[in-house]
Structure 1
Amino acid sequence: MLAHVPPSRRELRAQAVHRLQVGMFGLAGMLLLVSLANVIMDRAKFIDESAVNTAAPAVEVSETSAKDPLADMGVAPQLPVTAGEKPTVTLSPAPPPTPAPTVRAPQP
């Protein structure tokens, strides 16, 4: 039968030092993680503030673009068309039809 042997003073001290080391490394890791998160959040706030300040004065309002923006992009014709300006229409013939592909049924 084995009898329980209490740990010696040296073993108790080694366990205490190990626990202390693990705790200190844990605290240092958490401090590092929180500091990194704080730096990232500060940089994000700084970038957001500078982006808002530089974008606001760059917007200029012009009356000519507000009248017909589709015509300015070339998507729609400029309206109104005056009597002197007749729109030109060009018609091209349709391409000749192509025959449908033939499918052969498999032979039994």
Structure 2
Amino acid sequence: MQRLQVGLLGLGAMILSIGVATVVTDRAQQTDDAAVPEAVQTVAESDGKKNDPLADAGVVPDLPKKADESPVPDGPVLPEAGDAAPSPTAP
């Protein structure tokens, strides 16, 4: 008897979920049909100048006009020596 109840409950849940999915797809189709085919732009096109609101607000730091010619130093880049004892090397 319990198996029959569980089976019928599962069947009812599946039918309910299919019904909900059908309602959702029908509503989405209605909304799609009611939409304007070619909507007008809501944002005005820029006049060619770059718009940087952070720079306008003064939040961005001043960058040099010319980048350093050699930002990477010559030779190997080694870490700074700390106060720790040197690590033992392999013989």
Could you say which TM-score interval applies, normalised by the shorter chain?
0.3 to 0.5
Bigger CA radius of gyration: 1
The structure whose residues are more often helix, as a share, is 1
If the length of structure 2 is used for normalisation, what is the TM-score? 0.42
When normalised by structure 1's length, the TM-score is 0.36
